[in-house]
Amino acid sequence: MDLVFIEGLEIEALIGIYDWERRIRQPLRFDLEMAFDNRVPAASDDIADTLDYKAVSKRLIEFVEQSDFGLVETLAERCAAIVMEEFGVRWLRLKLGKPGAVRGARAVGVVIERGVREA
């Protein structure tokens, strides 16, 4: 199985459960690994045959910037669903980090895997 990845995608969002969090936009960091058979685009050398990581990034930026969730868990699930449904990804690992949310920690967040990872 091949992977297409996006690493360190930073997007600001309104997210959190505390009153002070509801008044500010906070930076979030996304890392994605997405299963995709890269043999077809490798043979054709045509972007139309790829999993276009720029298109995925733009779609997530659009969604996250407009979102308003309390929990990173909810946002991670919605982002995973978008990637799988709109881009035909059958398996992904998504890491969503919230830098600076806990004093002394570089970031906190969640890592989720969805779908079936094929060999």
Q: Which residues are catalytic?
A: 98
Both tokens of 59, joined, read 């779609």
Region class of 113: left (phi > 0), else alpha (psi between -120 and 50), else beta: beta
Please report, as a single letter, which amino acid is at residue 34: M
Three-class DSSP category at 117: coil
